[in-house]
Amino acid sequence: MDNETKLKIEEKIIDMLKTVYDPEIPVNVYDLGLIYKIDLQENGELTIDMTLTAPNCPAADFIMEDVRQKVESVEGVPAATENQVFETEWDNDIMTEEAKLELGFL
């Protein structure tokens, strides 16, 4: 896969991540800053490192499955692996400006 193709697929992955929401927060997981790493390999296999707003999030399974299904629906991504990480701990400082505005932090 060339760099241009890889960039287009990564953009589509981000677009799909922006459709995944924590049911308790009206902001998508990407803008919340929950996605720490998107690693797209040459063969299309994808690894995502992500966290949750809290380690004991009751919607964790739902969110993780939603992420997996949506990124695997992107053409050029045959399989996705998600790693749930808690290092570095999530903090509202890593949200996008749009997310902070939506949640009243600005």
Structure confidence by residue, pLDDT tens digits, 34-70: 999 999 999 999 999 999 988 888 999 999 999 999 9
Q: What is the CA radius of gyration of the chain?
A: 14
105 located within any domain: no
Range of the domain at 44: 3-100
Tell me if 106 is assigned to some domain. no
Residue 33 lies in a domain: yes
- Domain assignment present for residue 9? The answer is yes
Q: Say whether pLDDT at 7 is over 90.
A: yes
pLDDT single digits (tens) 75-96: 999 999 999 999 888 888 999 9
Please indicate, yes or no, if residue 84 is contained in any of the structural domains: yes
The count of structural domains within the chain is: 1
Residue 24 binned pLDDT confidence (cut-offs 50, 70, 90): confident
Residue 106 reports pLDDT greater than 90: no
E strand segments, the chain: 35-40, 46-50, 80-84
Residue 85: give its domain's CATH number.
Answer: 3.30.300.130
